[in-house]
Amino acid sequence: MERIDTLITPRWCIAVEPTMQVQEGVSLAVDKGRIVALLPTAEALGRFSPGAVHERPDHVLIPGLVNAHTHAAMNLFRGFADDIPLREWLEEHIWPAEGRWVSPEFVADGTRLAIAEMLRGGITCFADMYYFPDVVADAAVAAGMRAAVGMIVLEFPTAWAQDAGEYLTKGLAVRDRFKGHPLITTTFAPHAPYTVGDETLQRVRQLADQLEVPVHIHVHETAHEISESLSQYGRRPLARLEGLGLVTPGLMAVHATQLDGDEIDGLARAGAHVVHCPRSNLKLASGACRVAELSEAGVNVALGTDGAASNNRLDLLAEMQLAALLAKLTAADACAVPAAEALRMATINGARALNLEQEIGSLTPGKSADVTCIALAGLTQDPVFDPLSALVYTAGREQVSDVWIAGQHLLNQGELSRFDPADLRARADHWQQRLLEFAL
Ligand SMILES: [Zn+2]
């Protein structure tokens, strides 16, 4: 008998790759943080001697969800300024509040709150863009969470850096500090074409090419962004990025709600990725991403929650469901983005956008054991004709029961193993009081 750490025995399993087929009666064998095999349970019991067996008789096992765009620490701004358009929301509410309060302590507390929320909802990896990325990475490591930490770049001073040069220098120091860490990778995260100038974007492109690091940027989020770029630069933001050499397989174009047919073809030709954030786009009335056309053109579309200030939940199951529904409305086609495609967007496509597809995104032997288990039974879900349909169209994050990251059991039957909820809530309350004083 082969000694292994863990055997997980769900009712159903969707591995995503090599197949989206729902499998029944299989078990996932995990050892030293990696997936050893996905095989019929009878065979598993004959071959392995597991340290722990987790039977989940009403559940579906899937790869951990990948949140390909968020600003984790902004959980402390959840509900702080709602029902306002993007530019006014940023310039009159969020940036002034950040200017007053953002500090390493704020980022640590906000990120921990966000990680707890994400784990509770089955997310095992997040791509972040925020100040103090070193603090974000430390919070992720302490929680056992996987993170692609953004080396944020802006032209204006914040508590993190004074100018573009300092943002880059400090970002690269964070990258060096976590190089080779099993849970932490980095991206370049220039905020947006309207907050970062040509010279800085060129520098980002040179560094990204040299270091083979993805470039994570908000782009074509609103119609206003397009018209402003046309008057300031004489071209649309994506054309400007293309001119600067940034439309490459390393590009993570976040939002992309304003795309014409040529731009969709251009993204496909370049092998660039789009990160679709449907709830944020709806809440800020930014526009609708043409997801069905992007997928058809061959563009890899991943999913993100965006920050809690513009969403207001870091809930990738909700994004997955909404992405499927909204794509049908946008394309006027009920066949657009079927359940299987929505699950791919929430798992392997996110892994691809982050250049992590060798490590996560499917239940493939050899990959890291980043796994989510969801209960698909009960009055709100029965009957389950098709577990894939139930997962995408019926399930809510309350049904997430277990999460493993690199084999660590971080959510065990609904309980977070590394967080004290009372402590997290006290820290949220502490910052709420400060933000209230500031707003008065
Ligand atoms: Zn964002």
Look up residue 61 and give its amino acid: L
Question: Model confidence over 291-340: pLDDT tens digits?
Answer: 999 999 999 999 999 999 999 999 999 999 999 999 999 999 999 999 99
Distance from residue 404's CA to the centre of ligand 1 (Å): 26
**What's the first-to-final CA gap in the chain, in angstroms?**
66
Q: What is the pLDDT of residues 179-214, one digit of tens each?
A: 999 999 999 999 999 999 999 999 999 999 999 999
Measure 229 CA to ligand 1 centroid, in angstroms. Answer: 19
Give tens-digit pLDDT for 249-305. 999 999 999 999 999 999 999 999 999 999 999 999 999 999 999 999 999 999 999
Which residues sit with Cβ closer than 5 angstroms to ligand 1, an ion? 306
What is the pLDDT at residue 81? 86
User: What separation in Å is there between the alpha carbon of 128 and the centre of ligand 1?
Assistant: 9
pLDDT tens-digit series, residues 59-108: 999 999 999 999 999 999 999 889 988 888 889 988 898 999 999 999 99
Q: Which long-range contacts (CB under 8 A, 24 or more apart) does 390-395 make?
A: 390/60, 391/14, 391/60, 391/62, 391/317, 391/339, 391/343, 392/320, 392/321, 392/324, 392/339, 392/342, 392/343, 393/321, 393/324, 393/339, 395/317
CA of 306 relative to ligand 1 center, distance in Å = 5
Contacts for 231 with CB less than 8 Å, ≥ 6 apart = none
Query: What is the pTM assigned to this prediction?
Result: 0.97
For residue 258, what pLDDT is reported?
97
What count of other Cβ atoms lies within 10 Å of the Cβ of residue 206? 11
pLDDT of residue 144: 98
Tens of pLDDT, residue by residue over 380-404, are 999 999 999 999 999 999 999 999 9
CA of 69 to the centre of ligand 1 (A): 6
Instruction: Give the DSSP H or E segment for 63.
Output: strand 48-63
pLDDT of residue 155: 97
Which neighbouring-strand residues pair with 60?
Answer: 12, 374
Q: Are strands 300-303 and 371-375 parallel, antiparallel or unpaired?
A: unpaired
| 322 Cα: distance to centroid of ligand 1 (angstroms) | 17
Distance 263 CA to ligand 1 centre (A): 21
Determine the distance separating the centroid of ligand 1 and the alpha carbon of 67, expressed in angstroms.
12
Centre of ligand 1 from the C-alpha of residue 218, in Å: 6
pLDDT tens-place string over residues 116-140: 999 999 999 999 999 999 999 999 9
Q: Can you give the pLDDT at residue 437?
A: 83
